[in-house]
Structure 1
């Protein structure tokens, strides 16, 4: 039985002498079966070896998904997986007449790719969904032309638009403490600012205030709560809120709630 996997592994790992490398490379040009197995094993070796993690069109590496994969492959968790794969292969290559370690290597590498894909792309999908549904341009301005503007509100909105969310939340909080009659839109702005800061409990509190405001804007609270859970990647909570929205066709963002539920379900 041919020991292609052992030879290929020795070549890729640099365990051959110069003369052995030259002889092996010559055989690659004439032995079709060896060339095919070399191509496949090289791809597997690249996945968990210390080489470039991807070859070909390098523009692919500029995508957000590629950057997340690169980051994962450099992590301690990926190193642990790689070490385990190599240990399993080493343990099973002692039988030189068996290709078992070769198939174990392929299976392990595929398992790693599936795990990483689920880990990375699941998170990525939630991030993309949040970005596509937040629609900040739909939030009416707090500053009305022709009317005396509330200085704190005007300042808070400007800070929000400049993406200075920490400062914006402070201005909104000061406004909420000082005033007895609150513009309900300020709860939306403040809540979204807290989402961007990763302060999800504070964001949910703002949307509870919005829902309790008994204004026309109150009907938007459930949708923004859903966006909080979307940002958190909390599928159970997202579905709960979306199903409440879908209980009545007149609810705010009914159509979008159905679309979002279909995508995450």
Structure 2
């Protein structure tokens, strides 16, 4: 491994709302107790944004697509029927990971008797496009933008040879024979399943690594993950929690459950080959 003088952001990027080092799922759910449909922002950075969504039984989204970035979803409750242009509709369940390429219209629908709960990740600042075929009336404008009819060039997004729209993580990996690994490795989004057995916590002198130009966040899929993040007290996150390491902060994630327990964190950042800066020893 080459040793170089790497620029470390000083001071480190602060946590500005809605970002926080540790979003406990229990806190998000408590904030919306009694509500049937809601959206809760949890991540906003230069490259990506992520929100929790809940939709009541029978709910259905308007068909839409995003201009130049893929959309990633992780389903965490209920059943969500997903319809993507060019794909057979499928029903996603808890632990399901969904990959929707750019410029492919999609619709989400809650099926069954329970609300659907999912985390949705987009490119930062992305604003949806609504096909005129399904939305003939002009959509409501958003601040700074006015919707106008336009002929859309560039073609549909595509799935690569190793890509797929859906991974049932619990069925295919936890209880199946597939190995954890990258689910989306696109131009501006990387969704990577990292799985291993619980181990003793490394010493505090092991700082992990930092990233020069971007924030990184994780969804805890299975077991427990322990985090040491610069400027933040040591903690152990649980399934459904979201953890953020702001740009420039040393951070170390370790399989934090009892020794031998299987743990999974889903790492999400904008660069499949992003630089990791480790201590030079």
TM range (shorter): under 0.3
Higher relative contact order (CA 8 A, sep 6+): 2
Provide TM-score, normalisation by structure 1: 0.21
Higher helix share: 1
State the structure with more CA Rg: 1
Higher strand share: 2
